[in-house]
Structure 1
């Protein structure tokens, strides 16, 4: 595509942005109903990102296209979003781009038809370049995430620290996502049975962040410890987690006792166990 023609395409697609998005949503049937959820969960604006992709493709900004593909791959992988949705979305963008290129040509009475083969090669190659960059970035980030999770799991190989014959402490640290919460849940329940723990102190002060849905999962785990005859005490709740618990409507006092700090809980329970 020549520079003048590229500028004409960019102007045309910019002026037709609303119509383009409407056509795109009709093309991506399965993704259409998930757009709001993806924005809410992963802060990924699919429609705005589609516009960016089209602009990079039409302008031939290949370096920016590669950087955008890498960023998208990391965003998608970090939120654990389905790859099938991304593939459907990009292929819908491809079909919609060609639909509007045809409209552009028809409005100009086939004026750009002689450039079709060159245009076809460049547009499709650039979209494929984005897809290749996206999948490589997604895969690399996932590998790094898996390795990071593996190291964390190794650090938590024995999550309960016995402080007396009946009292144990679980220091929760770093980021907790659903995958890690499931591992912690399994290990804690097994250790309660093995060590015959009657009082479990869960310290939240070392948590740096909590993935959406994890707090509800942790509250379920507290219920499970109660079913095993183990009293749960929670310490170190910070403002962010407290507000999230309140927002979720979780009645934490009906499920566990709370203490301001791990030190306070240890003083109370070590004295009472002597």
Structure 2
């Protein structure tokens, strides 16, 4: 293989990695103003979690965001084997602190019972509100902000 071909392959790999990151942690504006939802999917690795953290913080920096809802519904114990529970706890702790430092309130949703058990057993501290589902977090947030959802009359 020649050098030019290898460089083209490396460029393609970087492009694909960016596409995968975008798909595995999209930032979705919520119906609640100034709120984003970030569903995290796929196998978690330390480097990947770092990229997700940078992506979230960059988005917060360029948008007027008050609340970030991090959805961990897809994250199961088998998807964190490579990172380990302690390291995942560390990553969640760093993400939470960074979001707070940007003046945004983090919420976590979708933590599985197995994941919660591991978090508690390893002594990981998550200083953020958590909810079982995105819907319950939105209901709480809407009530907190004084919003009422009403059916539209036709």
Describe the superposition over 1:157-195 as per-residue Cα deviations: whole angstroms up to 9, x where unpaired.
Answer: 7x3211133111111112111111011000001111211
Distance, in Å, in 2 between the alignment partners of 1:251 and 1:154 is 28
Q: How many residues align?
A: 127
Counterpart residue number, 1:214: 88
Distance, in Å, in 1 between the alignment partners of 2:29 and 2:18 is 24
TM-score, scaled to structure 2: 0.72
1:241–1:149 CA distance, 2 compared to 1 (3 A): farther
Distance, in Å, in 2 between the alignment partners of 1:239 and 1:146 is 35
Compare relative contact order (CA 8 Å, sep 6+) and give the higher one, 1 or 2: 2
Q: Is the 8 A contact 1:166 1:197 kept in 2?
A: yes
Counterpart residue number, 2:69: 201
User: How do 1:101-250 residues align onto structure 2 when only pairs under 5 Å count?
Assistant: 149-156=17-24, 159-163=26-30, 164-208=32-76, 209-210=79-80, 211-212=83-84, 213-250=87-124
Distance, in Å, in 1 between the alignment partners of 2:27 and 2:16 is 21
Choose 1 or 2 for highest CA Rg: 1
Q: Is the 8 A contact 2:24 2:39 kept in 1?
A: no
CA RMSD in angstroms, aligned pairs only = 2.3
Alpha-carbon shift at residue 246 of structure 1 (Å): 1.4
For structure 1, which runs of at least 5 residues remain unmatched after alignment? 1-144
Alpha-carbon shift at residue 155 of structure 1 (Å): 1.3
Alpha-carbon shift at residue 231 of structure 1 (Å): 0.8
Q: Is the 8 A contact 1:149 1:180 kept in 2?
A: no
- SS in structure 2 of the partner of residue 176 of structure 1: coil
Distance, in Å, in 2 between the alignment partners of 1:174 and 1:262 is 18
The structure with more helix, counted as a fraction of residues: 1
For the pair 1:262 / 2:142, whether they are aligned, the reply is no
